[in-house]
Amino acid sequence: MNYQNNLAFATALDEQDELKGFSKQFLVPQHNGQDVIYLCGNSLGLQPVTAQQYVLDQFANWKNLGIEGFFEGDDPWLGYHKKLIGTLADLAGAKKEEITIMNSLTVNLHLLMVSFYKPTSKRYKIIMEGGAFPSDQYAFASQARFHGYDPKETIIEIFPREGEAILRTEDILKTIIDNADELALVLFGGVNYFTGQFYDIEAITKAAHQVGAFAGFDLAHAAGNVLLKLHEWDVDFAAWCSYKYMNSGPGGISGIFVHEKHFNNQSLSRFEGWWGYREDKRFLMTHDFEPEIGAAGWQLSTSPVMLLTLHKAALDIFQQAGGLKPLRLKSELLTGYLEFLIEEINKTKGDEVFKIITPKNKNERGCQLSIVCKANARKTFDFLTSKGVIGDWREPNVIRLSPVPLYNKFKQVFSAAAILADSLQEN
């Protein structure tokens, strides 16, 4: 695409956009009586207009049916989650049985590590991305300690090379090979929260398997953002949250993937609860645990129906949009346009005043661009906010902007970049 740095061009792109109608399905925060330019879907996606009604419908069922709501009404609670699985499986590139919805992300990472991190004195190491989202660091370190290992000797973080911002796949693969005999688990991000780098999940998984380790992924920033083929890539397990690119509300329910090759693996231990019991016999309340076949066997507790309704409201929109493929095509154009406009600013200044550290290759990133401000970083961010552009801030000098194909427009990207350029005059 030959982009142009003018409003008419941005407007034309919006007119041609087959997904343009979807922005009306979201509620946008206001700034001085106008919609903000919301580029923060990487942290918290916007509220679907329908979300409130979906919850109200279940409040009505609760009021009118009481306990019978589990079995009666339009959407009996007992099987409510099943209506979401198809769309989620498509987003994850998985078979339906490989997916379930439960708990929150960090909780699920712990539960999956119960199954897939079983260190022995020979094989105990975990490889992860350096500077991962803090919750992952805490979770993995505490798992190591729980098993009696010192996190310092157990967890290997991979950092970019000196002077570089993103990880090279070759360095990840080499670290896996270098630790071949001692490696128990590679537990990586899908898309890095700080840089927006989309890792080569297939290659990482293959390397882990070659040395006899499991490969799991935290897909918080990947789910609903980039195309995933978890089944085909042979990933062992994954988990994600639903409140970032999946727009399912703050603290929304999490999803997990377990590859079908593990369904009959008796050597995998797991924590058990009645919601993971065979559904056809769950209410017989027998003594011995018989798991549901598939990822559903990892469930512990009664599904939180109100959270599921929010998730369904959001996933129904993904389905109406035709799944992630068309969204991804728009996303590449939209993020590419933001990148182009930022590079235009740099050209005008003859300097990298806004250095983009996210990979240039569209196959190695999703919606997000991470921008290092050469000077006055915090002031620049505050200026954007004061003009109604909502991104997010990471110490010490990074602004993350994520145009989201479901609800952002090319015109908004144009305006955001123009305001970014204006900030140079102000600061």
Residues of this chain that bind ligand PLP (CB under 6 A): 104-106, 133, 135-136, 189, 193, 218, 220-221, 241
CB 136, min distance to ligand PLP, A? 5
Between 218 and 292, CB nearer to ligand PLP = 218
Closer of 104 and 319 to ligand PLP (Cβ):
104
Nearer to ligand PLP, 189 or 403 (CB): 189
- Least gap, CB of 205 to ligand PLP (angstroms): 18
Q: Which is nearer to ligand PLP, 212 or 250 (CB)?
A: 250
Q: For ligand PLP, give the closer residue by CB, 221 or 312.
A: 221
* Distance from C-alpha of 371 to C-alpha of 357, rounded to nearest angstrom: 6
Minimum CB distance to ligand PLP, residue 128 (Å): 10
Residue 340 or 393 with smaller CB distance to ligand PLP:
393
Between CA 79 and CA 364 the distance in angstroms is 37
Task: Tell me whether residue 199 or residue 354 sits nearer to ligand PLP (CB atom).
Answer: 199
Question: Which residues, 6+ apart, have CB-to-CB distance to 344 below 8 Å?
Answer: 5, 417
Judged by beta carbon, residue 112 or residue 353, the one nearer ligand PLP is 112
| Residue 135 C-beta: closest distance to ligand PLP, Å | 4
Strand order in the sheet with 369-373: 354-356, 369-373, 398-401, 392-394
Half-sphere exposure at residue 361, Cβ-oriented, CA atoms within 13 angstroms: 8
CB of 142 to ligand PLP, least distance (A): 13
Q: Which residues contact 41 (CB under 8 A, 6 or more apart)?
A: 244, 245, 247, 367, 402, 404, 407, 408
How is residue 289 annotated by DSSP? -
Shortest reach from residue 232's CB to ligand PLP, in Å: 23
Closer CB to ligand PLP, residue 241 or residue 327?
Answer: 241
Distance in Å, CB of 371 to ligand PLP, minimum? 18
Which residues neighbour 420 within 8 Å (Cβ) at sequence distance 6 or greater?
Answer: 342, 345, 354, 380, 384, 389
Q: How far is the CB of 218 from ligand PLP (least distance, A)?
A: 5
Name the minimum Å distance from CB 247 to ligand PLP. 14
Match 């789910």 to its residue by tokens.
Answer: 223
Alpha helices in 147-187 (DSSP H): 151-154, 169-178
* Bridge partners of residue 277, in order along the sequence: 291
Sheet holding 214-218, edge to edge: 99-101, 255-258, 237-240, 214-218, 183-189, 125-129, 155-158
Comparing CB distances to ligand PLP, the nearer of 238 and 313 is: 238
**Close Cβ partners of 96 (under 8 Å, ≥ 6 residues apart):** 85, 86, 89
Taking the complex as a whole, the smallest distance from the CB of residue 2 to ligand PLP amounts, in Å, to 34
Q: 297-300: which pairs have CB atoms within 8 A and are 24 or more residues apart? A: 297/263, 297/270, 298/100, 298/102, 298/111, 298/112, 298/115, 298/256, 298/258, 298/270, 299/100, 299/102, 299/273, 299/275, 300/102, 300/103, 300/111, 300/271, 300/272, 300/273, 300/274, 300/275, 300/276
